[in-house]
Amino acid sequence: MQIGLIGLGKMGGNMAERLRRGGHDVVGYDRDPKVSDVGSLKDLVERLEAPRAVWIMVPAGDPTRATINHLSELLAAGDIIIDGGNSHYVDDQKHGAELAARNVGFVDVGVSGGVWGLENGYALMAGGTAEDIQRLRPIFETLKPVGADGFVHAGGIGAGHFAKMVHNGIEYGMMQAFAEGWELLEATDIVTDVPGAFASWRHGTVIRSWLLDLLVRALKEDPELAELKGYAQDSGEGRWTVQAAVDHAVPLPVITAALFARFASRQDDSPAMKMIAALRNQFGGHAVNAVDGQTGLGADSPGADTVPPVEAEN
């Protein structure tokens, strides 16, 4: 299948490569001409055969809105725009209605997998009509992990990003629990091998997970996390999850506390937040603040985005 892909940073670039490996014809556009296949959005649209499908992987908010608005003027009836960033589901519903007036389809896709998705596949949560989802099925099948799971048509427009928003809220709570457990183990002399304790939980326990694997990896690289400051950013999705809970009167004490803990990390050098920062760097290549005041991406990171990074967990 042929598809246009806009935004070839950490996520978008790896997704384009996975699609090409799967036999798809990908025409990529990025502001960095070194990685771009075309010189402009107009060039990209002209390279694609109708009916076109264009996947956007740029930062949520104004960059995504501007890209969709520009594309809407270039595309024709029967084309589809896919927003694979971390947009607010309310924005999706607005975009869907505006594009429908031009007979252009719209699908929102929450994407999880971070810098590891190229090899492992991406978990995909899609929102849109059944017809649009079915048309894009070959793309989804290539991007998702091998096996029965990893993709869901979550519902109508907005459902994909709503599901991803909740996913990220859960992620906040899980990371916070691991981080607090690490801080407690470090605070006592009873356990003398803290990294070993975490490593022992990786098999045969109910808390084994990919996050636990990444935690063990982070401690192997820096057992005391001495090279990190206890400062962790929050994504818009964490805030949106808590706001949605308020809107629907659903109690989310763990996720809300995890969000507030990140706010607290910006006030002092929190030990628990060192682990949050380490985990974000491990799974997403997110920048970390070192104790020497420098900001970096970590030794194993694939490098900075060629567009401003989407500030969210993936």
What are the catalytic residues? 164
Q: How many CA atoms lie within 13 A of 200 on its CB side?
A: 6
Read off φ and ψ for residue 83, nearest 5 degrees. -100, 105
Residue among 275, 107, 245, 246 at smallest CA distance from 169 = 245
Q: Could you check whether the bond before residue 51 is cis, i.e. omega within 30 degrees of 0?
A: yes
Residue type, 110: G
Bridge partners (DSSP) of residue 83 are 56, 108
Tokens 């005391």: give the residue: 224
Strands (E), 52-166: 53-56, 80-83, 105-112, 123-127, 151-155
Assigned token pair, 90: 């309310």
Q: How many CA atoms lie within 13 A of 58 on its CB side?
A: 21
- Give yes or no for a contact between 258 and 170, defined as CB atoms under 8 angstroms apart: no
Measured CA to CA, the distance from residue 239 to residue 258 in angstroms comes to 11
Measured CA to CA, the distance from residue 259 to residue 226 in angstroms comes to 23
Bridge partners (DSSP) of residue 141 are none
| Burial 127-155, CB ≥16 within 10 A → b, else e | bbbeebbebbeebbebbbbeeeebbbbbe
In angstroms, the Cα distances linking 199 to 195, 210, 224 are: 6, 12, 15
